[in-house]
């Protein structure tokens, strides 16, 4: 199929897409947006979290065909020009980035949490981000980053 | 005056790239003409592939090639390098379930995966050896023994001790679960190969790939600027990366191979399953007379890491006149094993520190006091003094910060509603290792200094370490340093990111390179006819905070280089340990204190809080250090409560994904109070850093297990400590 999808505000097209391939594959391999990461392909780890029509989803679990005509926002689309989004800046400032592979998904998940809950409690943060694995296990610093972003 | 950044909270220099998704990892490259490969793996535990039917796969849409043992990609046999002991597709033997028996290449990933599912194989199956318990005891590999004069054997020393403890513990296979699955993008241009592939040791990996492909080492460049975790599993080169490079060569086009998580579980090594027995003999007051540590570790027939959990743990930890460490390896038909963060030390110290807690219970001596009564100031076997050891201070500071004095020794004596509360502690140690290392410092005419070393930043903070040390040495802001790692084309001598050794080894090399580069810059300033300092004696010219000064003139290096018309001035230096280092035993130390709660009715164990204090020498970057230490402690939560992959009789791992193999998540982690003593090691290097990437994991599981005992009165010896064992 020819896939029409709006990504980070821009209408994009991809040709010869098998409707069953994942949105993650389309983003990474067809549209040149490798920020969203593939780490489990089964929705366990959250590394591929993107917004689909404003709702965070695991891009590995969304079929390309399901994204037809919809809006996707990835980690590449969070910053306003050169300025990092407050969540991104807070991840840097709090030391919440280590190997960085889980980071794009966590940044999107945290961005969504703060959009829904501007002042989350610690248990709310832990619960909201429990679906995002970090094997450097920087969870304490990630918590700090979300607290910091909430204050900004 | 520039304030030194050493030991401060410094932001990662690679942070902005990583939070925007713009740091390229191995699978993020898309060279022109790229095609995709997918593995086919054996579905029996041991035997021979009699034949394979690839016709349906070859006829599938988009398929470019199917490689099997009957239509192989040529690879040389391994010759001495570590890792698997065979090359994939070169014979029809099946050594373990999940061994690579085919590679399908197609125009898209989905088509390659689909076609791989169409490949079928016929096998002759032979029974697999998969049970550590059934196949052991293993073959002794590393016997360490020291007996006091007149003592005939360790058994005699134990038999004559007033108090004896025998503790047997076991753990199943562990997986590293680096978030980035193994991925390779291989690109040939004429006879020059560039491999994008996560590697802990880029230069060693490039050399291995060259040797196995049968090409000159200079023809292979490996790039791993950003790597999504290592933890040991990216130390060797595995067959998958070799096949990807070989397929790209055969097909004359770039090939990308990304493993699924399930494939990583078998195609890439795991931490060996291991069973251990500790026997302690002590006086009534807890002073040790004898320590015996036996282990049987899994060693796959296909090759792998040798699990030796007693050598750097029980042979070092406590003062005792009699020690015997008997480490045995049991050959099994399992997927390859490999080192995993604190590879032998985490299981070894779980065993020892569990036994020490049992000794504390038996003798009625407080666990901290028991460890102080057995405090070692020298290596108990070799007799070398420790280079620097403040473990006693770790105990004292940790106990104070944690509130250890509020603990009651009697199990089940503290409750909070339906939760039983328990406190436990354990001591940690990990060998410090300084390797010879090299680095390059380059003054550039854009006003920055590039500091490079061919090591790898697998999330540890090596980029930032180079920037911090370079900035400190040159009197510049951290932002003026451009750090480079993760490229085999950097000057030879970069160290591998393993053994917690990168900082220990590389800091002295960076310091030496910066000093040599300053010298070269000064020399250039007096030699170059366009320089304002031309003709001066080098001794009269000085470098200070990025400026060259002499005769009342002061010029920044950027202006100087541009005036001279020289794009850069650089130096490469190598730094190695002093000969005097052999007189010392180098170790890092730590003390963990942990509070758990266990639900009275459901048996659910949760970690409430952790305090850990470390003696790791001098710290380069507090922010990165805290991340490493805290992360490793949380790995201990996984070790104690979650992680296990039992192997079934047919050679199949019981867990094959992140849904089955549990690792700690946000909701599992408590507040963790990490503290370190700032005591530079005076003997390891001028700088005094000893490395801290792994020690946090050592014994954190034991502290949890000891706290669970204190909460419940139940001692769980077979990890992980799950609900069923606490009911």
In tens, the pLDDT along B601-618 reads 999 999 999 999 999 999
For residue A125, list chain B residues with Cβ-Cβ distance below 8 A.
666
- What CA dihedral angle connects B396, B399, B405 and B407, to 10 degrees? -140
B452 close to B517: Cβ distance less than 8 angstroms: no
Structure-token pair, residue B183: 């991925």
| pLDDT score, position B85 | 95
Does the pLDDT at position A123 exceed 80? yes
| pLDDT score, position B81 | 66
Q: What is the pTM of this model?
A: 0.97
| pLDDT score, position B136 | 72
| pLDDT score, position B83 | 79
Structure-token pair, residue B57: 């796969």
**Residues of B numbered 253-272 whose beta carbons fall under 8 angstroms of chain A's beta carbons: which are they?**
258, 260-261
Top-level class of domain A3-78: alpha beta
Whether A3-78 and A86-151 share one fold: the answer is no
Q: What angle do CA B117, B57, B245 make, to 5 degrees?
A: 85
Does the pLDDT at position B286 exceed 80? yes
* Inter-chain residue contact A34 with B666, CB threshold 8 Å: no
pLDDT in tens, B421-463: 999 999 999 999 999 999 999 999 999 999 999 999 999 999 9
pLDDT band of B102, cuts 50, 70, 90: very high
Q: Collapse the DSSP code of B380 into the 3-class scheme (helix H, G, I; strand E, B; otherwise coil) and give the result.
A: coil
* Inter-chain residue contact A142 with B181, CB threshold 8 Å: no
Mean of pLDDT values over B262-291: 97
Q: Which of A136, A142, A145, A149 to mutate to test the interface with B (most CBs of B within 10 A)?
A: A136
pLDDT band of B64, cuts 50, 70, 90: very high
Burial A67-84 (b: 16+ CB within 10 A, else e): beeeebbbbbbbbeeeeb
| pLDDT score, position B358 | 98
Does the pLDDT at position B1 exceed 80? no
Domains belonging to chain B, first-starting first, are: 26-127+179-229+234-267 (3.90.1170.50), 274-433+582-726 (3.30.365.10), 435-576 (3.30.365.10)
List the alpha helices (DSSP H) in B501-654: 502-527, 557-564, 622-637
Architecture of the domain spanning A86-151: Orthogonal Bundle (1.10)
Nearest to A110, CA basis, from A144, A136, A81: A144
pLDDT band of B513, cuts 50, 70, 90: very high
- From A143's Cα to the closest Cα of chain B, the distance in A is 8
pLDDT in tens, B534-587: 999 999 999 999 999 999 999 999 999 999 999 999 999 999 999 888 999 999
| pLDDT score, position B79 | 85
- The answer to whether the complex's ipTM is over 0.95 is yes
* Inter-chain residue contact A98 with B181, CB threshold 8 Å: no
Calculate the CA B369 to chain-centre distance: 32
- From B691's Cα to the closest Cα of chain A, the distance in A is 16
| pLDDT score, position B433 | 96
pLDDT band of A137, cuts 50, 70, 90: confident
What Å distances lie between residue A110 and A82, A152, B103, B627, CA to CA?
A: 20, 14, 39, 19
Structure-token pair, residue B586: 């180098």
Any catalytic annotation for residue B694? yes
Nearest CA in chain B to A133: B665
Contacts with A63 (C-beta within 8 Å, 6 or more apart), sequence order: A19, A20, A21, A22, A23
Burial B194-209 (b: 16+ CB within 10 A, else e): bbbbbbbbbbbbbbbb
Question: Could you tell me where the beta strands, DSSP code E, fall in B307-444?
Answer: 322-332, 415-416, 419-431, 437-444
| pLDDT score, position A82 | 84
Residue B368 buriedness (CB in 10 A; 0-12 / 13-18 / 19+): buried
Domain ranges of chain A: 3-78, 86-151
pLDDT in tens, A56-107: 999 999 999 999 999 999 999 999 888 999 999 999 999 999 999 999 999 9
Beta pairing partners, B295: B276, B327
- From B167's Cα to the closest Cα of chain A, the distance in A is 30
Does the pLDDT at position B488 exceed 90? yes
How large is the angle between the packed helices B700-712 and B622-637, nearest 10 degrees?
50
Q: How far is it, in rounded angstroms, from Cα B703 to Cα B422?
A: 10
How large is the angle between the packed helices A139-151 and A86-94, nearest 10 degrees?
130
In this structure, what are the phi and psi dihedrals at residue B437, rounded to the nearest 5 degrees?
A: -145, 155
What is the radius of gyration, based on Cα positions, of chain B? 27
Choosing from B84, B298, B345, B694, the catalytic residue is B694
Residue that has been written with the tokens 């002042």 in this structure: A119
pLDDT in tens, B383-400: 999 999 999 999 999 999
* Inter-chain residue contact B19 with A84, CB threshold 8 Å: yes
- From B459's Cα to the closest Cα of chain A, the distance in A is 3
In this structure, what are the phi and psi dihedrals at residue B186, rounded to the nearest 5 degrees?
A: -115, 130
Q: How far is it, in rounded angstroms, from Cα B510 to Cα B531?
A: 27
| pLDDT score, position B445 | 98
What is the average pLDDT score of chain B?
97
Does the pLDDT at position B327 exceed 80? yes
Q: Which of A18, A58, A81, A101 to mutate to test the interface with B (most CBs of B within 10 A)?
A: A101
Neighbours of B512 (CB within 10 A): 21
| pLDDT score, position B318 | 98
Q: Which of B14, B15, B62, B457 to mutate to test the interface with A (most CBs of A within 10 A)?
A: B15
User: Between chain A and chain B, how many beta carbons pairs sit less than 8 Å apart?
Assistant: 181
């Amino acid at each position: 199929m020819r896939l029409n999808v709006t990504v980070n505000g821009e209408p994009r097209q991809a040709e010869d897409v098998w409707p069953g391939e994942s949105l993650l594959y389309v983003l990474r391999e067809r549209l040149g947006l490798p920020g969203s990461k593939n780490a489990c392909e089964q929705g366990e780890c959250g590394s591929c979290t993107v917004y689909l029509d404003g709702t965070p989803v695991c891009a590995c679990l969304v079929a390309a065909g399901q994204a037809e005509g919809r809006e996707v926002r990835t980690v590449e689309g969070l910053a306003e020009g050169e300025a990092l989004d407050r969540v991104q800046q807070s991840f840097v400032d709090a030391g919440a980035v280590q190997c960085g592979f889980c980071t794009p998904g966590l940044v999107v998940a945290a961005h969504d949490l703060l959009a829904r809950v501007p002042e989350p409690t610690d248990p709310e943060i832990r619960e909201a981000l429990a679906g995002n694995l970090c094997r450097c296990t920087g969870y304490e610093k990630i918590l700090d980053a979300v607290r910091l972003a909430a204050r900004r | 005056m520039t304030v030194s950044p050493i030991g401060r909270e410094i932001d990662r220099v690679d942070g902005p790239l990583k939070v925007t998704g713009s740091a390229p990892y191995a699978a993020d490259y898309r060279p022109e003409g790229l095609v995709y490969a997918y593995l086919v793996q054996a579905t029996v535990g041991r035997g021979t592939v009699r034949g394979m039917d690839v016709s349906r796969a070859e006829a599938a849409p988009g398929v470019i090639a199917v490689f099997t043992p009957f239509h192989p990609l040529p690879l040389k046999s391994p010759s001495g390098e570590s890792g698997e002991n065979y090359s994939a597709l070169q014979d029809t033997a099946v050594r373990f379930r999940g061994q690579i028996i085919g590679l399908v290449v197609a125009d898209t990933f989905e088509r390659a995966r689909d076609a791989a599912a169409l490949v079928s194989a016929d096998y002759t199956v032979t029974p697999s050896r998969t049970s550590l318990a059934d196949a052991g005891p293993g073959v002794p590999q590393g016997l360490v023994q020291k007996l006091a004069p007149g003592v005939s054997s360790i058994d005699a020393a134990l038999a004559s001790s007033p108090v004896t403890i025998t503790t047997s513990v076991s753990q199943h296979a562990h997986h590293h679960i680096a978030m980035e699955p193994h991925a390779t993008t291989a690109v040939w241009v004429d006879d020059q190969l560039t491999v994008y592939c996560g590697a802990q040791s880029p230069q060693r990996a490039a050399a291995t790939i060259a040797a196995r492909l049968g090409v000159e080492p200079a023809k292979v460049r490996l790039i791993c600027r950003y790597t999504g975790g290592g933890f040991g599993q990216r130390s060797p080169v595995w067959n998958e990366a070799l096949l990807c490079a070989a397929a790209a060569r055969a097909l004359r086009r770039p090939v990308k191979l990304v493993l699924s998580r399930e494939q990583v579980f078998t195609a890439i090594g795991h931490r060996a399953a291991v069973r251990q027995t500790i026997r302690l003999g002590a006086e009534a007051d807890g002073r040790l007379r004898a320590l015996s540590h036996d282990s049987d570790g899994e060693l796959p027939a296909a090759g792998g890491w040798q699990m030796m959990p007693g050598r750097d743990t029980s042979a070092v930890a406590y003062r005792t006149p009699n020690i015997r460490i008997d480490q045995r390896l049991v050959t099994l038909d399992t997927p390859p094993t490999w080192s995993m963060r604190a590879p032998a030390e985490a299981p070894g110290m779980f065993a020892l520190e569990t036994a020490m807690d049992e000794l504390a219970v038996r003798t009625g001596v407080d666990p901290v006091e028991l460890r102080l009564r057995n405090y070692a100031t020298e290596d108990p076997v070799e007799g070398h003094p420790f280079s620097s050891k403040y473990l006693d201070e770790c105990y004292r500071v940790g106990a104070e910060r944690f509130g250890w004095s509020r603990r009651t020794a009697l199990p089940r004596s503290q409750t909070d509603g339906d939760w039983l509360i328990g406190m436990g502690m354990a001591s940690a140690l990990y060998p410090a290792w300084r390797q010879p290392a090299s680095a390059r410092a380059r003054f550039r005419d854009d006003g920055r200094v590039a500091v490079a070393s061919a090591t790898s930043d697998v999330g540890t903070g090596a980029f930032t370490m180079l920037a911090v040390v370079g900035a400190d040495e040159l009197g510049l802001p951290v932002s003026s340093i451009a750090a480079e790692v993760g490229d085999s084309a950097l000057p030879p001598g970069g160290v591998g990111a393993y053994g917690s050794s990168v900082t220990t080894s590389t800091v002295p090399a960076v310091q030496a390179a910066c000093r040599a580069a300053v010298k070269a810059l000064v020399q250039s300033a007096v030699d170059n006819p366009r320089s304002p300092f031309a003709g001066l004696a080098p001794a009269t010219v000085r470098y200070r905070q990025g400026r060259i000064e002499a005769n009342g003139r002061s010029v920044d290096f950027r202006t100087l280089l541009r005036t001279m018309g020289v794009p850069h001035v650089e130096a490469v230096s190598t730094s190695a340990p002093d000969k005097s280092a052999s007189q010392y035993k180098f170790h890092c130390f730590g003390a963990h204190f942990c509070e758990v709660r266990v639900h009275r009715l459901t048996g659910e164990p949760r970690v409430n809080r952790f305090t850990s204090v470390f003696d790791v020498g001098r710290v380069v970057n507090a922010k990165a250090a805290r991340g490493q230490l805290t992360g490793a402690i949380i790995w201990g939560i996984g070790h104690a409560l979650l992680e296990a992959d039992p192997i079934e009789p047919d050679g199949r791992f019981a867990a094959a994904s992140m849904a089955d193999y549990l690792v700690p998540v946000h909701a599992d982690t408590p507040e963790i109070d990490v503290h370190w003593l700032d005591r530079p090691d005076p003997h390891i290097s001028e700088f005094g850093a000893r490395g801290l990437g792994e020690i946090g994991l050592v014994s954190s599981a034991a502290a949890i297990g000891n706290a669970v005992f204190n909460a419940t009165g139940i001692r769980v010896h077979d990890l992980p400590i799950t609900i069923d064992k606490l009911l």
